[in-house]
């Protein structure tokens, strides 16, 4: 009930102003409450006004704990409203340094978590992993089991992006188990577990966990999460080769995003474009992928930009497309496959784009694709998981078959 919290804090500020007797530290506390409730209620500019005033009061009173909390909260608003991650990270690092100086592990845990989330948003997976591991250790140090479950969930998301789906699944299962014991079970652990299972080719298990996630999201009225869920369902249908069902799921994700927020529009556009491409609707695919490419350039998400450009190259199917394929392969060699949902599809597309123009280059691309598949399967501990990974996704099976020939 963040709007009510904001109103209550502002009433306190008004009363204190009329009495003119409130100590600076108490005024800073009220401003922090107003700012914290304000951003949660979606009123970012108002929240920033309260936080700036609160910071001035806290500094005047030399209340370092309040200064740290206000900088932390301000960092949230700067990242998620202003989209200025560099400035936001600076604010949160200042809060982290203060909490470390004050020997406050709970504060340090908060800051490390937020810095890890910033890294995740910017596709800095390895850095994010280090922050979340610190977050987990600090939560365990102080016995904060609720935030420990959040750290486990965040680590699961990062391991998925880093191409370690089995590790990710273990972290999501640990999240679910811990939240069951603390009475805080929600759908995020099931959504993450479903995503990890989807990447491993365990489609039936993934679908079951998406259903469980949806039930829990709806029971809590977490409507903003539905766009993430429906996009994950679209990716599952896409992986199974059911492109019509994938398109319907993307439409649900778009509708939920427009109503309740959630997943970035550019992600939806990328998947809409690829799905329309494979449904044989080039005009719609080109429109969606072109719009997505512009937005990914602005956000700096190199993994989704690469996937989007691969779709555009496949649409072009001309001599220039082979050149684009070479650029994509060079980028893959430089940045790796971290964060790509379907690296095999990117390699397979590049192989097909190069084949008519330079069979030797195409063969080299196919060999690289096969080497990537073997390495990715090798990260999974069980032979049956490795076999599922190699054969379940259509593009993976095609790479295996073509390489064997």
pLDDT in tens, 172-196: 999 999 999 999 999 999 999 999 9
Q: Which residue has the tokens 């004050």?
A: 102
* Residue 17, pLDDT above cutoff 80: no
Q: Examine the domain organization and report whether 117 and 215 are in the same domain.
A: yes
pTM, entire model: 0.88
Share the mean pLDDT of the chain. Answer: 93
How confident is the model at residue 338, as a pLDDT?
81
- The 10s digit of each residue's pLDDT in 107-118 is 999 999 999 999
- Our CA angle for 173, 176, 177, nearest 5°, is 85
- Start-to-end CA span in the chain (Å): 62
Domain-located, residue 268: no
Q: Which helix (H) or strand (E) holds 215?
A: helix 203-219
Q: Examine the domain organization and report whether 25 and 122 are in the same domain.
A: no
63: left (phi over 0), alpha (psi -120 to 50) or beta: beta
Residue range 330-357: average pLDDT?
88
* Residue 20, pLDDT above cutoff 70: no
Domain-located, residue 395: yes
Q: Examine the domain organization and report whether 9 and 85 are in the same domain.
A: yes
Instruction: Indicate the number of domains in the chain.
Output: 3
Percent of residues, the chain, with pLDDT higher than 70: 99
Domain-located, residue 277: no
How confident is the model at residue 333, as a pLDDT?
86
- The 10s digit of each residue's pLDDT in 289-341 is 999 999 999 877 788 899 999 999 999 877 788 888 899 999 888 888 887 87
Residue range 207-224: average pLDDT?
95
Nearest residue to 333 via CA among 306, 301, 305: 306
End position of a domain, from candidates 79, 98, 117: 98
Rounded CA separation 348/345 (Å)? 5
DSSP-derived letter for residue 376 is H
* Residue 232, pLDDT above cutoff 90: yes
* Residue 255, pLDDT above cutoff 70: yes
Q: Examine the domain organization and report whether 92 and 177 are in the same domain.
A: no
- Residue scoring higher pLDDT (307 or 261): 307
Q: Which residue has the tokens 């249908």?
A: 237
CATH code of the domain covering residue 39: 1.25.40.10
End position of a domain, from candidates 65, 98, 131: 98
Q: Examine the domain organization and report whether 111 and 202 are in the same domain.
A: yes
Domain-located, residue 213: yes
Rounded CA separation 347/332 (Å)? 9
Domain-located, residue 303: no
Q: Examine the domain organization and report whether 118 and 217 are in the same domain.
A: yes
Residue range 35-64: average pLDDT?
92
Q: Which residue has the tokens 């470390």?
A: 100
- Residue scoring higher pLDDT (392 or 180): 180
Q: Examine the domain organization and report whether 74 and 154 are in the same domain.
A: no
- The 10s digit of each residue's pLDDT in 367-383 is 999 999 999 999 999 99
How confident is the model at residue 110, as a pLDDT?
96
Q: Dihedral of CA 364/159/198/270: which sign?
A: negative
Full residue range of the structural domain in which residue 403 is found: 317-405
Domain-located, residue 290: no
Lowest mean pLDDT among 140-149, 187-196, 246-255, 314-323: 314-323
End position of a domain, from candidates 72, 98, 124: 98
Q: Examine the domain organization and report whether 52 and 77 are in the same domain.
A: yes
Q: Examine the domain organization and report whether 155 and 92 are in the same domain.
A: no
Contacts of 377 (CB under 8 A, 6+ apart): 386, 389, 390
Domain-located, residue 120: yes
Nearest residue to 392 via CA among 198, 168, 192: 198
Q: Examine the domain organization and report whether 55 and 131 are in the same domain.
A: no
Q: Examine the domain organization and report whether 82 and 109 are in the same domain.
A: no
Q: Examine the domain organization and report whether 33 and 54 are in the same domain.
A: yes
How confident is the model at residue 374, as a pLDDT?
94
Domain-located, residue 286: no
* Residue 389, pLDDT above cutoff 80: yes
């Amino acid at each position: 009930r963040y709007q009510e919290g904001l109103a209550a804090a502002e009433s306190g500020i008004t009363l204190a102003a009329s009495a003119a007797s409130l100590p600076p530290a108490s005024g800073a506390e009220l401003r922090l409450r107003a700012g914290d409730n304000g951003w949660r209620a979606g009123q970012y500019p108002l929240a920033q006004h309260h936080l700036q005033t609160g910071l001035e009061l806290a500094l005047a009173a030399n209340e370092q704990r309040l200064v740290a909390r206000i900088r932390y909260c301000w960092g949230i608003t700067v990242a998620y409203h202003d989209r200025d991650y560099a400035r936001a990270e600076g604010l949160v690092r200042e809060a982290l340094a203060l909490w470390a100086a004050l020997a406050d592990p709970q504060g340090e845990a908060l800051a490390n978590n937020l810095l890890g989330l910033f890294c995740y948003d910017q596709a800095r997976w390895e850095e994010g992993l280090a922050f979340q591991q610190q977050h987990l250790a600090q939560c365990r140090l102080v016995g904060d089991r609720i935030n420990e479950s959040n750290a486990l969930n965040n680590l699961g998301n990062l391991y998925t992006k880093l191409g370690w789906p089995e590790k990710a699944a273990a972290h999501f299962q640990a999240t679910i188990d811990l939240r069951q014991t603390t009475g805080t079970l929600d759908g995020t652990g099931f959504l993450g577990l479903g995503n990890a299972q989807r990447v491993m080719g365990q489609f039936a298990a993934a679908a079951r966990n998406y259903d469980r996630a949806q039930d829990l999201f709806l029971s809590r009225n977490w409507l903003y999460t539905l766009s993430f869920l429906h996009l994950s369902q679209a990716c599952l249908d896409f992986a199974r080769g059911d492109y019509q069902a994938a398109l319907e799921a993307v439409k649900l994700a778009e509708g939920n995003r427009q109503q309740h927020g959630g997943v970035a529009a550019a992600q939806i556009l990328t998947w809409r474009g690829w799905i329309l491409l494979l449904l044989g609707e080039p005009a719609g695919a080109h429109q969606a992928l072109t719009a997505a490419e512009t937005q990914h350039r602005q956000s700096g998400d190199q993994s989704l930009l690469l996937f989007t450009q691969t779709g555009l190259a496949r649409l072009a199917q001309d001599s220039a497309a082979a050149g684009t394929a070479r650029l994509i392969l060079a980028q893959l060699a430089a940045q790796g496959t971290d964060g790509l949902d379907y690296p095999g599809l990117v390699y397979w597309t590049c192989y097909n784009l190069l084949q008519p123009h330079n069979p030797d280059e195409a063969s080299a691309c196919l060999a690289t694709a096969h080497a990537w598949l073997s390495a990715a399967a090798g990260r999974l501990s069980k032979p049956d998981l490795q076999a599922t990974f190699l054969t379940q996704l259509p593009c993976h099976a095609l790479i295996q078959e073509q390489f064997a020939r």
